[in-house]
Structure formats: C-alpha cells, structure tokens
Amino acid sequence: MRVLGIDPGLTRCGFGVVDGTVGRSPGLVAVDVVRTDASSEVAQRLLRLEVAFEEWVVKYRPDVVAVERVFAQHNVQTVMGTAQAAGVAMLVAARHQLPVALHTPSEVKAAITGSGRADKAQVGAMVTRILRLDETPKPADAADALALAICHVWRGSAGDKISRATDQAAQLAARQRRAYALARRTLPTDLNSRGV
C-alpha cells in the first residue's frame, strides 16, 4: 500500500510518501515541505498548496491519503490555516477518488513512538529509525508527514480491512433479507396465511 501523508499547514505543509504493509517496515518514497509566503493572500496560498497536492497525487499515485486531524489550539489563526490546508488536501484526494484517513497527533505519536505525548524530536528520531534514513527529515513538518503515512500503514490498513469486512457482512445480510422477503411473497397462499 502506498500512503501519502500530509501534515497540513498554511505556511509549511509536510508531504511524505511511504510504501508498506502491516508487519513489514515501510519504505520511503518521497518527502518534502511546501512553503507559502505569509505576505500573500490566503486564497493564493491555498492555490499554491492545491497545485502541490495535485502534483504529488499524480506523480506518486498513492492508494490513500492520510491527513492530520485538525485539533483546537490557543492560536485560532494557526488552526484556521491548518484546517484550510487540510481541506484542500481532502478535496484533491476526493477529485482523484482516493480514500482519506484522518489521524490525530496523539494517535500518530503513539503509533510511531509508543507514547501519545512524544515530542517532535522523538517522532523525528523514530521516523528516521523506522525508515532506515541517514538523517532526520527537516523541518519537523516533513518528519510529521512521514509519521502520518507510517501510522496509516500500521493502523489504518487494519481498520480498512475491518471496515471492508463490516461492509461485506452488511451487504450479505441485506441480500439475505431480500431473498427471504421474495421467498415469503412466492409461497402458496395457504402456507403464507399460517405464518410460515
């Protein structure tokens, strides 16, 4: 499975692509940070991010896009920019009919380091170790994007399988209900009236 991890941000947006499956170490495909000029209009900055998302989706052809779930912070301005960037990433994924998975920062930290309270240095160090890199991707947004992708490989793929199995079970149950209803309608009248 190929996962494009997005650490959304309006000024710096981390992009990371990994290939992997549950039970095996994921491998690095690409990592980068896209920056936008804080003095530019917000609409132009979002357009810059949309173009970058589009290029990454077309170039790396991920199976799923993992985006950090936006959470409340004290700085409303930062939250707004992060939410806007995440929305653009989800829009591009939807345009390409790619599933989007949202992971909270604590979920990602727990998957990567074993602690939901790990700091950025710990996350970066574990990303470096997991992907067998010579050095930690810089800035931290790059390492965070890779952490999101790794988290989804390890946690999301199992959740995807459970979700698919649940959907298949629901579809089977619906087919069985329709078959039962059809059989009841086609029973002879005398059997049907006896509650068979």
Q: Looking at 141, 144, 160, 167, which residue is catalytic? A: 141
User: One of 32, 37, 68, 134 is an active-site residue; which one?
Assistant: 68
Q: Is 7 annotated as a binding residue?
A: yes
Q: How far is CA 147 from CA 8, 88, 97, 124, 188, in A?
A: 13, 20, 23, 8, 63
Residue 2 zone, left/alpha/beta (φ > 0; ψ -120 to 50; rest): beta
Residue 135 annotated as binding site: no
Can you spell out the DSSP letters for the chain? Answer: -EEEEEE--SSEEEEEEEE--TTS--EEEEEEEEE--TTS-HHHHHHHHHHHHHHHHHHH--SEEEEEPP---S-HHHHHHHHHHHHHHHHHHHHTT--EEEE-HHHHHHHHHS-TT--HHHHHHHHHHHTT-SS--SSHHHHHHHHHHHHIIIIIHHHHHHHHHHHHHHHHHHHHHHHHHHHHHHS-HHHHHTT-
Q: Known catalytic residue: 37?
A: no
Is 54 annotated as a binding-site member? Answer: no
Query: Is 54 a catalytic site residue?
Result: no
Q: Is 68 annotated as catalytic?
A: yes
Catalytic annotation, residues: 7, 68, 141
Residues in the annotated binding site for Mg(2+):
7, 68, 141
Residues in the annotated binding site:
7, 68, 141
